[in-house]
Structure 1
Amino acid sequence: MILYFSGTGNSQRAAVQMAEQLGDELVSINRQIKDGTAGTFTSERPWVFVMPTYSWRVPRLVEEWMEKARFEGSREAYFVLTCGGSVGNAAPYAAGLCGRIGLTFRGLAGVAMPENYLALGPTPSEEECRALMEAARPRIARLAEMVSAGKRFPAEPATMVGKLESGPVNPLFYRFYVHDKGFTVSDACISCGRCAARCPLNNIRYEGGRPVWQGSCTHCMACIGGCPTSAIEYKKVSQGRHRHYVMDDALCWGNEAAQ
């Protein structure tokens, strides 16, 4: 079973490709988290968890969801983390998560895809994003082949920088940087409601026809990346930058986010 979490579509694209190649079932973790559903899942095939790298680890909200969900059948778990740069030293933390929920860790692999983190810095152009997504396909295909063959993802040596990023930097990054205080909305807003429909934490509500953030944010960038009129900004960092959004909303959320 392929279970994925995705903010703007990179990880969804990787998960869809793996599901098609493996002929396996695809499940949106986004929808599970948004609906407040932990759920019980059953698969005789290995579990493949696909998601973006958040502060050089598995996203905290996904980790919390996995600790509440039940996984029956196969005990083998693979992790595929999309990233704009590095996955740091995420593997030992994913292995620890597997230990806590009774799964056997079969490795973690990073897949370089377009940077979408508008709250942090530069993002690639649309043309560069297309090239990066296409370049990622052979890597994803190789990972699917390893899962199909029952091979463990090869471990990559962690650098000292990676250990720092995934270690002490991770909680500090969440504490001081991952919040929604920087989001603003301009008069270009058309009150379409898509940002609220796409928010996995139900953190956006509308007041006077405008989105208002409620203080519980994971920086998935779905709201700003997918805004059809580019009305949402994050401080001054996002101004003039390309918004990468390739999510199939109907596949991820159902029809309400795809209107």
Structure 2
Amino acid sequence: MSKTTKLSVNLNKIALIRNSREGNFPDVVAHGQMCLDAGADGLTVHPRPDQRHIRPSDVRALADLVRPLKGIEFNIEGNPNADALGDYPGFMALVRETRPDQCTLVPDSNEQLTSDHGFDLTRSGEALRPIIDELHELGCRVSLFMDPDIRQIDLAASVGADRIELYTGPYAEAHKAHNSELAALLEQYRCAAAHARDIGLGVNAGHDLNLDNLEAFLHIPGIDEVSIGHALTVDALRMGLPAAVRAYLEICRHGSHPSV
């Protein structure tokens, strides 16, 4: 199992709580700083045009927070084709303005509650190629949100991606249900990750990972980074945010979480 997997904390759910009232409580930037103080390796946001959680102002403020911090990365996720809406300037415009360390492209629509599938690059690959080229010119590492499909991963490399982020929703669902197909599904992810590394791609992972299922997933070698938000925020209600971050870091770096 990898002992060097990095943890990027997704702050969307902190913003969702903030947006349920007027004002700036909880303060997303202050909670991002709490995550970093607890040892997180980076921060992730997924701004959507409807601004249901992260707002453009959050993205700008978090970019300012992370930019001077050595070894800490800012990751912006989203659909590169998301256009301007109200004071949302459009995904690519926001990326051009803030220049994150990593840009994770996701094929979600405005109507989706959450991301639920990877790219089909047989259909969208050529359209993504100039976008990836521009992101590289901006200094961003580019990761594509992908299912554990080796044919699709080959296409991710061919269009110029630096990494893939494996969509782990099906794994999390099978793990929760104690599904008989869990072992075969984990093997599918292991083969996908190994193939990605063999062709020069880094491997991230994310979606519905939590304290119960993360350790087993990280028995897959070579996972560079996990992005976790929803479950970590829920755990923070019980444990406190710094303790929740440290519990996830314990799994990422040592393979088991402490009793809490």
TM normalised by structure 2 equals 0.30
Q: Which has the higher strand share?
A: 1
TM normalised by structure 1 equals 0.30
Q: Which has the higher helix share?
A: 2
